[in-house]
Structure 1
Amino acid sequence: MQKEVCVLAASGMLGSGFSEDTLHKALSMKPDVIGCDAGSCDPGPYFLGAGVSRASRAAVKRDLRLIVHAGVENGIPVLVGSAGTAGGNPHLEWTLEILDEIVKEDDLHFKLATIESEISKEKLIEYFQAGKVKELYPAPELNEKKIKNFTRIVGVMGPEPYIKALEEGAQVVIAGRSSDTSIYAAVPIMKGLNNGPAWHAAKLLECGTGCVELRARGDCMMAWVREDSFSVEPPNAEMRCTPVSCVSHALYENASPFDMYEPGVVLHMQNSTYTAENDRRVLIKGSILEHSKQYTVKIEGAELLGYREIAIGGVRDPLILRQFDTYMDGLIDAIHKKIKISTGFDKDDYKINYHVYGNPNQDDPKEIGVLFQVLAKTEKDAHSIMANAWHLALHHPIKEWSGLQSQFAFPFSPPAISTGAVYGFCLNHIIEVDDPLELFTINYRQF
């Protein structure tokens, strides 16, 4: 067992940026590993379904170049998880293309491990038939027919694939979809510290400077993990951790501030204590790790729902604002009738809704905004329906008027804007596995 393991988080998300000066300062503190999360399901299902990254290519290349250089030149392993935002095979391939460019441009040499996390529909059906797919709450109904319509499925890996890759000599690991904390818990576990402090430290590191008192911008974060405690401190001298800023991060993305569920373990923080070691560094003790009897892997999936067009309009007419709710009910009903006549679509063939910005029911409202949204089976259908909808909204009458009026002001021409394919999350489940590695494929490459 290594008595203390120093873990460096380069940033809360690859491509969100960090200070190069801060990275150099952190390297002077001799970290045992450099980690960086590259994704999340937070941006929504589109990125998983479409197979694209939320972060820009240029920003990812800048961040990846800095941390790979830092690792290779200083003999420190580099772990990147949830590549390309959603961690599917297209996201992993996209990230590896960027890494290939960096290696060729900078003449770097190291052993690379890539970890695939995408699960085929056929494989998921096998687990489903075996009764190994279990619901979380809330979860959509699942059956084989639905699984066959899914666009992409990924498993959220724990620390074991990272540890396996490092044991096989990899210096840089680029992984598919991953538990955020597993990126940072892997090396402490590998060095004998599979305990509450290691996982709690990983929780604070996962968002980079998310646990500082005032996060003005993203930057590096460091933790020192021990058998009975850990300490956190931002290497950027302009930032600081406090007991309150650290304990508050237990609330972030957690159903409970006391219990955090991760692959194979549950972290209990009810008895954790937070003590200021100085004005920038916090010591945390009392975190307890419970190992699960059954190892499970959370799975995420996206399915194509259709294609969307939107239109944004503003209303100032006081006659409409005084009866806005009933006006909009009448407008939507009129749109459905017009669509049936113009296109032949029934109401069940598409969805149309709207979001109101401002309060038409307040005293003397001056203006409100309305965002119309159409969801249809094809882009052509969505465009045809919205073209009718916004034009009807422009002229839909009220009894106080005489003659044709125009009451919606559209800021864009054309008023309708296509947002393309729409995906929805289709899984909130776990898979019971016999081996933490069985859903993940590790490949190696020597540069």
Structure 2
Amino acid sequence: MRNMGTEPVKSVRVLTPSGMLGAGWDHATIERGIALGADVISIDGGSTDSGPHYLGSATAKTTAKAVARDLRSLFTAAAEAGIPVIVGSCGTSGTDRGVDWVAGIAAEVMAEEGLDLTVAKIYSEQNAADLKEHLNAGRVHPLPPLGELRAETLESCTHIVGAMGHEPIVAALRAGAQVVLAGRATDTAVAAAYPLMMGMPAGPTWHAAKIVECGGQCTTNPRAGGVLATIDADGFTIEPLDPTVSCTPITVAAHMLYETVNPFEMREPDGTLDVRDARYTALDDRIVRVEGSKFHVAGQYTIKLEGARVTGYETMSFAAIRDPLILADIDAWAELMRTMIRQRVGQTLGLADGEYAFDLRLYGHNAVLDDLEPESGPPREVGVMLLVNAPDQATATAVAKVANPLMLHLPAPGMDYLPSFAFASSPAEVERGAAYEFVLNHVVDCDDPLSLFRIELRENTRA
């Protein structure tokens, strides 16, 4: 392996091939990044973007074959170059099961390729009982818009993770890891860990990490592959790995608008990135130089908690409408549908409103923007999605079945015949299983950045 922080360096090059492990890329872009002198490969393995299901169920949104394909590309290139690979938020949500899942795939890939890399697994899942001790000690604080955390909320979660900063990753690298498979981590910590370990300043490092977190999204063609960031004492440069694509001051600066409350600030466990004075300069038609980024160390180190719990069980059905008489006033028809469902469910199943819930979404009309939809006039066709939530799967499906004749034949007010609609599938009812919701948006005060995380190292047996 190359110098791991034992000697001072003037710059560090971070190769980020994509915004997420499993998304895929052209291996030629990885080879180009290695040829340009990459010192580390970092990639995010997950996100909360896809909703609470993946955390609540501890399952991945990516398929194992896609993850294996990407790890093969990374491991073969990194092993030949002698540089580490860092993956954050393994298994989409960073649960312990997600880390082990990616580690199992990684082991298979290395065996197939004849590689024996030292692997560190960093677990970020949290125990409700331990968190209640922190809560009782006054070390847990809410983030807007949530209020004070209750112990019952912790107990109701199926899985809770803490979003680690760069420190556990650095600890794993210093212990000799050539591959770091981290649980839930901030997207930026994955890219910032190695440069910070090598002595690069916090301002440029965290800013560069933010820009590269989504790979090529900061370029003129996000589909073309990843980027290479070169961080030094005064700032950083960033260039695409595809030679036909460009970074511009606008595409780079604009990424600070992505997933941030404030486009000039970004909070990490140990402080806040401040880019108010950052200057973005085009060095040529492909490469951008950034200087002036600052990092303000916080008075208290904090770890953000994410938790999800079951809210019930869902059954869905979907029908398509193209009848012009109904589409002429689809909102009136939808309101009638809601009324009829409540009446029929009460009559047939004896359920009151509080014992189940349903949502009727009109795709092609206002399902995306609802009351904010600017267009007026009747749509040409509408897809009607009925989503039922109940305390158990059988009840959710029973409600959907009661609604079935209405989803197929309900006439609009004033119609003197039964129209026919088209179900998307047979059977019409699709059981979706448990539904989850995020319930934690809180931070824990920590005196030790490593205290909430556990590192396991598998030694390289050929070393």
Residue 152 of structure 2 is aligned with which of 141, 145, 154? 145
User: Which residue is 1:316 aligned to?
Assistant: 322
Give the conservation status (yes or no) of the 8 Å contact 2:323–2:419: no
CA distance, structure 2, for counterparts of residue 98 and residue 24 of structure 1: 22
Confirm whether residue 172 of structure 1 aligns to residue 172 of structure 2.
no
Distance 1:159 1:282 in 2: 25
Stretch deviating more after TM superposition (274-283 or 23-32) = 23-32
Q: Distance in 1 between matches of 2:276 and 2:131?
A: 36
> Equivalent residue for 2:434?
421
Instruction: Give SS of 1:442's match.
Output: strand
The aligned counterpart of 1:231 is 237
Write the mapping of 1:351-362 to structure 2, written as runs, cut at 5 A: 351-359=357-365, 362=376
Task: Give the distance between the partners of 1:332 and 1:441, measured in 2 at CA.
Answer: 50
**Which residue in the other structure is 1:378 paired with?**
392
Give the Cα separation in 2 of the matches to 1:210 and 1:399: 49
Is 2:16 aligned against 1:6? Answer: no
Please state if 1:163 is matched with 2:170: yes
TM-score of the pair, normalised by structure 1:
0.95
Give the 5 Å matches for 1:78-93.
78-93=85-100
Aligned residue pairs, count: 445
Q: Whole-Å Cα distance in 1 between the matches of residues 197 and 378 of structure 2? A: 65
- Structure 2 portions without partners, runs of 5+: 1-7, 367-374
Q: Could you say what secondary structure the match of 2:222 adopts?
A: coil
Contact 1:307 1:419 in 2 (8 A): yes
Per-residue deviation, 1:316: 3.3
What percentage of residue pairs aligned between the two structures are identical? 39
Distance 1:313 1:196, change over 3 A: same
1:62 matches 2:69: yes
Whether 1:367 and 2:374 are equivalent positions in the alignment is no
Cα distance in 1 for partners of 2:398, 2:174 equals 57
Is residue 440 from structure 1 mapped to residue 458 from structure 2 by the alignment?
A: no
Stretches of structure 1 that go unaligned for 5 or more consecutive residues are none
- Offset of residue 16 of structure 1: 0.5
The Cα of 1:42 is off from its aligned counterpart by: 0.7
CA distance in 2, matches of 1:409, 1:440: 52
Question: Separation in 1 of the partners of 2:339 and 2:148?
Answer: 31
Corresponding residue of 2:408 = 394
Q: Partner letter of residue 448 of structure 2?
A: D
Tell me if structure 1 keeps the 8 A contact 2:332–2:412.
no
Establish whether residue 107 from structure 1 lines up as the match of residue 117 from structure 2.
no
Partner of 2:332: 326
Which residue of 212, 215, 219 corresponds with 1:208? 215
SS at match of 1:422: strand
2-structure distance, mates of 1:348, 1:138: 25
TM-score (structure 2 length as normaliser): 0.92
Structure 2 CA distance, aligned partners of 1:327 and 1:182? Answer: 50
Q: Distance in 1 between matches of 2:377 and 2:456?
A: 65
Q: Within the alignment, does 1:43 sit opposite 2:62 as a pair?
A: no
How far has the Cα of 1:397 moved from its partner?
Answer: 4.7
The residue aligned with 2:311 is 305
Per-residue deviation, 1:150: 0.6
**1:216 alignment partner, SS class:** helix
1:266 corresponds to which residue? Answer: 272
Residues 150-159 or 64-73, more deviating:
64-73
After superposition, the Cα gap between the structure-2 partners of 1:405 and 1:161, relative to the gap in structure 1 and judged at 3 Å, is same
Shift of 1:365: 4.5
Superposition CA RMSD, Å: 1.7
- Aligned residue in 1 for 2:195: 188
Single out whichever of 293-302 and 314-323 deviates more from structure 2: 314-323
Alpha-carbon distance in structure 1 between the residues aligned to 2:394 and 2:308: 22
1:283 to partner: Cα distance: 0.5
Q: Is contact 1:221-1:232 (8 Å) kept?
A: yes
> CA 1:180–1:340 in 2, change beyond 3 Å: closer, same or farther?
same
